[in-house]
Structure 1
Amino acid sequence: MQLPTGPCIGVDLGGTKIAVARVEPDGTLSRRCRIDTRVTDGPKVIIQRMCKEIQKVMGTERVAGIGVAAPGPLNARTGVILSPPNLPGWVDIPLREELEKAFGLPVWIENDANAAAWGEYMRGAGSGADPMLYMTISTGIGGGVVLNGRLFRGADTYAGEIGHTTVDPSGPVCGCGRKGCLEVMASGTALARAAREAAERGNSLLSEWAEQKGTLLTAEHVFSALDKGDEAAAAIVERTVEYLAIGISNVVHLFNPRRVVLGGGVTRSGEWLFNPLRERLGKWLMSSFSGTFDLRQAELGDDAGVLGAASLWAEKRDTFETTS
């Protein structure tokens, strides 16, 4: 990956952290920082905090522009954040306009899962695979598709919302207002909710840990308990894998990818997730799709969104020149 216009700033607003880094022309990241998002503070305060970190990373040296990966749904053409379930209060927020006013630089806003997908395609686990499907399993679930060497955005730039495909119509209400989305059934948040429910029923390591003062059960606790042979944790993971297999197989049937790359915090459990998922996919895929793609863990970690946003900013630089 090359950024021929010079260094720029990459920002990832997705998840519980805001990541900011200076991205050099060769794609390396330097002078980086990460701070808590604190979503309950609302858009005005979070944008101010983000601007402060951007300025800190930028310093006094000139950069060409700013690329931001933000939770969807959003309109990438206008740079407006619409109404992300994981950013409460962010309704029709003109983030691109706000940042351009603050820094006097061209800004590109991209869905965070799309940005991570592009980062993994350019320099990570998706390199050389086309079509490529990327899915992040973290606080929420998002996705991105690379098709014919380009990020597929759809007619209105809303494509890739894999987390809001329905996998259980009788499931709980998702943050988007609909029932049984993949996100509400199989995200890290869903795993944490299931852990708390299991703890309330008792007779598990999860209930023992929940009773410890100050312990808030998370997805990580579920996989730790599974590693110790806990039956309640095993049931949670089995159910989660089932929903992930349904969601992934649906998108595989649509796009026939050569590679499926999974990233996000939940995937750090490694083979505790990937081995049963590979097995369960066989149940939901049409036989003709068997062996047509490989399933891999993302390689770039927390850098995927920042790198992808910076690369997409460079790709869109002609847009700024023709619209300014």
Structure 2
Amino acid sequence: MIIAIDIGGTKISAALMDNNEIIESKKTDSIIHHDLDNLASYVVHLCQDWIEKAHIVAVACTGQVGKHQVNFLSAKQALPLQQQLKAGFGLPVVILNDAAAAAWAEYCLGPKRQDSTLVYITVSTGIGGGIIQNGQLVTASDGFCAHIGHMSVNCPTALSVQCHCGRINCVEAISSGTSIARQASTILKTAVSCKNVFEQHLSHPEITTLLDQCADALVDLIANIKALTGTTVVVLGGSVGGASAFKERVAAKIAKLPMIYQVSLVSPITGEHADLIGAAMYAQTINGFNDGTQ
């Protein structure tokens, strides 16, 4: 069996899996932004009851997941997380970026496509992505690969938005759930979450304009990705990406792009467990249980 773990900025999910089937699952709050140094022991404790049943640990993790360390960009700190987890579990550990894991799950379990290319975008607390090119998950040894949330986009209304990565006008700084909540709070003159925005404030004219602008920025990113990869399909997931009020805007704007930039925008088929399933499937695919991400 496989212990699959999804380490995110707000929550950590874990499952004991037999092939691609979830046998048991758990969920808890993440500690990335207030106790990162103890992350490995926290995760091992969460999965303690499963260790004797498993032969490998598959981890989908937020951040820049490299061969020797994970750079948690939003926390501005890096950890040798894979080695820490190997020591804690006493098992081989395969680790990859969470959006890359979801992309792999979507590619493996979704309809087979002749071009063997797919791009997955998750719009949630941040914006992440995974790219399958010619049937291979695109990776890099330092982990800074397919981090499409940190691609700068054209957004006339966002003249100079500083992203936590250090660049200006990254799409994550404009269109992520965190950014939408921040901008909406300024508009409404009261603190609101992104969830509040979609549940209570869609009729507010300035919020409508805000969501249109955020969708514009994401569509600019999608057009750039189309030019880069040639993909005909973009899977749009995440709590914001999956919200109908947002996704419908994005789809309508894609339809207005020049034909060469248009893609089919589809919903994920793997649901809330995409990262867990993708990590487990990737661990089985590489079948070497090595010390790197591939």
TM-score by length of 1: 0.82
Aligned position for 1:127: 111
Aligned position for 2:239: 265
Unaligned 5+ segments in structure 1 are 1-6, 201-209, 211-215
**Does residue 101 in structure 1 map to residue 87 in structure 2?**
yes
CA deviation string 1:12-52 (max 9, x = no partner):
10231000001112x01121001000333232222221111
Equivalent residue for 1:144, pick from 130, 134, 141: 130
CA deviation string 1:161-216 (max 9, x = no partner):
1000001483311111111101000000011001111112xxxxxxxxx4xxxxx5
Aligned position for 2:73: 85
Amino acid of the structure 2 residue aligned with 1:235: T
Aligned position for 2:21: 28
Q: Distance in 1 between matches of 2:96 and 2:111?
A: 20
Unaligned 5+ segments in structure 2 are none
Cα separation, partners in 2 of 1:114 and 1:17, compared to 1, 3 Å: same
Aligned position for 2:179: 190
Q: Distance in 1 between matches of 2:145 and 2:273?
A: 22
TM-align CA RMSD: 2.1
Identity across aligned pairs (percent)? 28
How far off its partner does 1:253 sit?
A: 1.2
TM-score by length of 2: 0.90
Larger radius of gyration: 1
Aligned position for 1:279: 252
Cα separation, partners in 2 of 1:89 and 1:42, compared to 1, 3 Å: farther
Q: Distance in 1 between matches of 2:248 and 2:201?
A: 14
Q: How does 1:134-283 map to 2 (within 5 A)?
A: 134-154=120-140, 156-168=142-154, 170-200=159-189, 210=190, 216-227=191-202, 229-270=203-244, 272-283=245-256
Residues 9 and 33, structure 2, Cα contact 8 Å, conserved in 1 = no
CA deviation string 1:199-243 (max 9, x = no partner):
12xxxxxxxxx4xxxxx511122222354x221221111111111
Secondary structure class of the residue paired with 2:290? helix
Moved beyond 3 Å, runs of 4+: 154-157
Equivalent residue for 1:41, pick from 25, 34, 40: 34
Aligned residues: 287
Residues 42 and 90, structure 1, Cα contact 8 Å, conserved in 2 = no
Q: Distance in 2 between matches of 1:171 and 1:143?
A: 23
Residues 127 and 148, structure 2, Cα contact 8 Å, conserved in 1 = yes
